[in-house]
Amino acid sequence: MTDVFFTPKQLELQRKVKEFTEKHIIPVAREYDESGEYPEWVFKEAHKAGLNCLVIPEEYGGPGYDSLAVGLAVEEWGYGCAGFATGLSANGLASYPLAIAGTEKQKQLYYSRLVAGGKGCFALTEPGAGSDAGAVSTVAKLEGEEWVLNGTKCFATQGGYADIYVIFASTDLSKGAKGLSAFIVEREREGLAVGAVEHKMGIRASNTVELQLKNVRIPKDHLLGQEGEGMKIAIKTLDMARPIVAAMSVGVARRALDEAIKYVKTQLDAEGKSLAEHQSVGFKIADMATQIEAARLLVYHCLRLKDSGQPYSKEAAMAKMFATETAMKVTRDAVELMGSYGYSQDSIVEKLMRDAKITQIYEGTNQVQRIVISGQLLK
């Protein structure tokens, strides 16, 4: 879609990522879906192409793209494969806490690793703390000049391969969510271990792991923001990440629509008419396309609000919820339209449908999005 309101820099990134996706992702997406292996090489390619840490500002050696440009990029990755997209955008997610609360020194430390081709990981969720992030039971205790972290994190995206982490731990369990704090933890810190790898129904090319922390000692200055500000940092991070997940979902949905269109235009019915000539098919395609367009506009609108410094938390939740519901619905419609072929692994749409399901769950389930939206409207 051409949009006269995009800047040349945004369009340039979109073009670059589209090429990257066509070259490196689309041809191998099925293979990695089947094997469930982590395509570490793609990060090296992304690094070479200058796409490994899109959100890091220029003064720290990053490309300094604005949020809308990042959204356009992740949409293209999502078009290629949501598993790859989840991994490739994980550095963004893992960088946001620094943008929100990092000191100059912390940013230098953290960003320099990513700029050099390293990988980041944002670790908030725990077995007992999903939607209820305040229930985090990993603890951090100050001992002299060091924080000592103990606990277990789960569903950590890219956790098995990361070089640097943002890990949330409680500095005061009695305060619940208000006792949560955020820490920078480097991979080489003793006591940090990667546990079980999650085998998922979809986004199988992304790495999702358990992290174990046993007496992990980090310097005092690795605390992000103040003690007790963890929840605030987590919420702001998720606000920033939601339109990006939404953009990825738009990409997934677009792919499903393109595949469905290709199919119905080339397949014939028993009378030799193309399926596309059937009104029921045409209307279904129209519905799919309209929902995608609406989702995409919610995403772009939200990212423009963010880039212009206006509040966007409600819009982020709306975009995330609507775009991910759209991805689920549109991928499902594509499988339905394509029958046995769509259900088989001869086509890509069955994978798109499995991949789409996670978008309704991560970065806050769509139930959490409804809490955010209604909370703002009803306060």
Partner 1 sequence: MRYGLTEEQDLIKQSAREFAEEYIKPKAAEIDHNATHPAEIFTKLAEYDYLGLYFPEEYGGSNAGFLSFALIVEELAKYSGSVASILINHSAKAAYALNQWGTEEQKETYLPALIKGEKLGAFALNEVGAACGIGPNKVVATKQNDDSYVLSERKAYVANGGAADVYIILATTLSEGGKENLSAFIVEANTPGLTVGKITKTMGLRGCRFAEIVLEQVIVPADNRLGYEGLGAKIISETLDVASIAQGAQVVGIAQAALEETLRYSKERVQFGKPINTFPAIQNMLAEMAANIHLLRLGVYHAAQLVEKGDPFNLEAAIVKLNAARTGQSALIDAIQVQGGYGYSEEMVVSRLFRDINGCILKDSSHEFPEQKIAAEILV
Summarize as ranges the residues that interact with partner 1 (CB under 8 A): 34, 125, 128-132, 135, 154-155, 198-202, 263-264, 267-270, 272, 275, 278, 280-281, 328, 332, 335-346, 350-351, 353-354, 357-358, 360-362, 365-367, 370
Nearest to partner 1 of 128, 375 (CB atom):
128
Residue 162 CA to residue 160 CA, distance in Å, equals 6
DSSP assignment letter at 198: P
Structure tokens at 176: 């619940």
Q: Which amino acid is at 227?
A: E
What's the min distance (Å) between Cβ of 97 and partner 1?
Answer: 20
CB of 366 to partner 1, least distance (A): 7
Q: Which is nearer to partner 1, 194 or 361 (CB)?
A: 361
DSSP letters along 125-160, please?
-BTTBSS-GGG---EEEEETTEEEEEEEEEEEETTT
* Contacts of residue 9, Cβ cutoff 8 Å, sequence gap at least 6: 65, 66, 69
Task: Between 297 and 371, name the residue whose CB sits nearer to partner 1.
Answer: 371
Residue 363 annotated to the active site: yes
Distance CA 163, CA 182 (A): 17
Burial class of 71 by CB neighbour count within 10 A (0 to 12, 13 to 18, 19+): buried
Q: Which is nearer to partner 1, 15 or 278 (CB)?
A: 278
* Cβ contact 331:347 at 8 Å: no
- The tokens describing 92, both together, are 């963004």
Residue 142 vs 196, nearer CB to partner 1: 196
φ and ψ at 128, to 5 degrees?
-100, 5
Paired sense of beta strands 164-170 and 120-123, if any: parallel
CA–CA distance from 359 to each of 31, 300, 323, 329 (Å)?
Answer: 21, 18, 9, 12
Q: State the catalytic residues.
A: 363
